[in-house]
Amino acid sequence: MATDVPKDSQDLDLRSASLSDADLLLSWFIQPDSLANSLRSKKEVEPAQHLAWLESRLASPDAEIWIAIQAGERIGQARVERTDAGLEVSIYVDKAARGRGTASSILRSVRTQTMTRWPNLPLIARIKPDNEASKLLFTKAGYQLRSKVIDHEIWQFHRPAEAEFRSDEC
């Protein structure tokens, strides 16, 4: 079940995506930089195909899509999908909202939300080797390179153990 994510320190909100976001999500997906960094699709998709994909993700208990909102504007999206390896994270920030820490804020909010819904699963990012911006973003967010495969690298965020959050030892 989709839930809203608390407001971030940079006045960034995440809300669960809905079918009414389909056109915007498609417009972000077909941006040249998005397609260039996609591992799964190298070309534009038809609106009907995208809508079917979105409907399946919104209905899945193993997926969540959030829309990032700042100053009343939809400025990006984040998606997680549960896989055998953990929770695979995908993020896109609109070009107009880049360069001001937006992506980092989105990742922090996603991490908080997933700790509640999927507390024991690691966060995974699959990044193309030449995508330096994503590698820098995920490194700053606490992800570490876990492995390299033919066409991408796998980065992982290790969640701190529950004991590390206890303050009763002070």
pLDDT (tens digit per residue) in 102-148? 999 999 999 999 988 898 899 999 998 888 989 999 999 999 999 99
0.75 exceeded by pTM: yes
In degrees rounded to 5, what are phi and psi of residue 168? -75, -5
Let me know if residue 7 belongs to a domain. no
Q: What is the domain range of residue 161?
A: 12-165
Asked if 74 and 68 count as a contact pair (C-beta separation under 8 A), the reply is yes
- Could you read off the pLDDT of 147-162 as tens digits, one per residue? 998 889 899 997 665 4
Let me know if residue 1 belongs to a domain. no
Let me know if residue 81 belongs to a domain. yes
Rounded percentage of the chain residues whose pLDDT exceeds 70: 78
Six token digits for residue 56: 């399946």
Q: Which residue has the higher pLDDT, 89 or 100?
A: 89
**Rounded distance between C-alpha atoms, residue 37 and residue 149, angstroms:** 15
**Rounded distance between C-alpha atoms, residue 108 and residue 104, angstroms:** 6
Query: What per-residue string of b and e applies to 8-20 under the rule 16 or more CB within 10 Å gives b?
Result: beeebbbebbeee
Let me know if residue 3 belongs to a domain. no
Let me know if residue 47 belongs to a domain. yes
Let me know if residue 133 belongs to a domain. yes
- In this predicted structure, the answer to whether residue 170 has a pLDDT above a threshold of 90 is no
Let me know if residue 39 belongs to a domain. yes
User: What CATH number does the domain containing 143 carry?
Assistant: 3.40.630.30
Q: How confident is the model at residue 28 (pLDDT cuts 50, 70, 90)?
A: confident
**Rounded distance between C-alpha atoms, residue 160 and residue 157, angstroms:** 9
Instruction: Determine how many CB atoms are found less than 10 A away from the CB of residue 6.
Output: 10
C-alpha 78 chain-centroid distance: 3
Mean pLDDT check: name the lowest of 41-45, 66-70, 75-79, 87-91. 41-45
Count of structural domains, the chain: 1
- In this predicted structure, the answer to whether residue 35 has a pLDDT above a threshold of 60 is no
**Rounded distance between C-alpha atoms, residue 74 and residue 65, angstroms:** 13
Q: How confident is the model at residue 100 (pLDDT cuts 50, 70, 90)?
A: confident
Instruction: Determine how many CB atoms are found less than 10 A away from the CB of residue 128.
Output: 15
